[in-house]
Chains A and B, each alone.
Chain A
C-alpha cells in the first residue's frame, strides 16, 4: 500500500483526483494500452477501423486488393508509431491521415507506371476528353435496384477520375460524412481550401454524372 509522505505527494494526488477519469474503451486509451504491449487493445482498434479504412482507401484507389494491403499497412504504421502518438487530435484523424498519405502515394505510383483500369476511364489519344471504355447502358431498366447499382458504379468510376487533391476531400465529406474541420486536419490544410476543393469536385461529378441527374 502506497503512503503519501510529502506535501508534494498530497498536491499531486489531489490533482489526479480532479482529472476526469478517462474511458478505458476510448481510442486514446486503447492506443495507450497498445503502447504498453496489450495486443487485445490493438485488436479492438483494428476491429473498429478496419472497415472504414479499407472502404476509404478503396474509394480512393478503386482497387479492393490494393486497398486491403494499404489498410493493413496503415495499421502496421499505427502499431509501429504508437510510442510517438500525440493526443493533440482525435485518433480517427490520425489514422485517416496515414491512410490518405498511403492512398495518394499509391495513386502517384500508378501514375508513374501509367496503369490504366480497363473497367474505368482512360484518356483519348489526343488527351482532351476522357472516353469511357464501358459506357453506361442508356436503356431504361426494369429493376430499380439494378439502376441504383449501375448508378453507384458510375459514380465510383467518376470519383476515380478526379484529381487526388479533389478526390480525398469529396470522399471524406460525402461518403464518410466527416466535418470540414476534421477533413482540414486530416489533409493538413485550411478549412476554406477544403470547401473550395469539395465544390470543385462536385462540379466535376455533375458533369460526368449528367446522365444520371
Chain B
C-alpha cells in the first residue's frame, strides 16, 4: 500500500516543474516518508544541474556561412537544371535526326519504285506487238493495258508508260531515253510462207565497210557510233526457182 502511494508521489514529482507546487496529498506523504523525501531532494538537484547547462551560442559567422551554403547549393541546383536541359536538347536533336533519316530513306525508296527501268518497255515493229518474256508472277494483261512503244516514236516513253498521272509526271520530268537496247528483245522471225511484200526491209549498203549511226543525247550533243559490218547466219528467203529473184537488189534481206 505504501509502495503504491510512493510510486504515485514520485511520478508527480517527476512530472511537475521544479517551480510548481505538489498536491496536498503528495506533500502530506512527503512529510511522513523519508525515502520519498530523499528521492525528491536528488531529483530536484539533478534537474537543477541539468537545467544549469547554458545555451551554447552559435559562432559569429553562422549567418555568413549559411548564406554562402545556400548560395552554393542554389548554384548547384541551377547547374543541375541546366545540365538536365542540355541532355533533353541532345535527346531531342537525336530523335529529330533519326526521324529525318527515316523520312529521307522512305522518300528515296519510293522514288526508286516510281522510276522503272527502260527494259520494261517493249519495242515492237510498227503494227506488230511482240509479247514480252513471261514472268511467273505477272498476271496476264490485255494488249491495250500493256505498255508498248512504237519504233517510230522512241521518245514518247513517258507518255506510254502508265495511265497514272503522278507516275507519268515523274517520268516526263526525267531525261527522255535516247537509246533502246534491241538486244534484249527477240528478233522477229521471218518464215518462208510470209508475203515478202508486207515485210519491212532495212536497206543496208553492205558495200560500205561499216555502219555509222549518229545519236543525239537530247542536249544537242551528237555522238557518232561506227558499227562494223557483221555477217551472221541467215536463210535466204527468196525463191531460187524464180529467175527474176536472182537479180534482186543487192543488200535486200
Contact = CB atoms under 8 A, between A and B. Distances in A.
A99 B49 CA distance: 24
Contact of A68 (B45, B47, B62): B62
B69 interface: yes
A151 interface: yes
B66 A174 contact: no
A198 B56 contact: no
B70 A71 contact: no
B50 A170 contact: yes
Interface residues of B, number: 26
What bracket does the count of chain A residues touching chain B fall in? 35 or more
Interface stretch (A15-23, A49-57, A131-139): A49-57
B113 interface: no
A79 interface: yes
Contacts of B42: 206, 213
Interface string A30-64: 00000000000001001100111111001100001
Contacts of A72: 62, 65-66, 69
A151 B51 contact: no
Interface string B176-191: 0000000000000000
Nearest to A151: B49
Contact of B56 (A46, A51, A170): A51
A202 B46 contact: yes
A83 interface: no
A175 B50 contact: yes
A177 interface: yes
Contacts of A51: 55-58
A156 interface: yes
Interface of B: 11, 14-15, 42-43, 45-47, 49-59, 62-63, 65-66, 69-70, 73
8 smallest CB-CB distances across A and B, nearest first, come from A55-B56, A50-B58, A174-B50, A54-B58, A55-B55, A58-B56, A213-B42, A155-B49
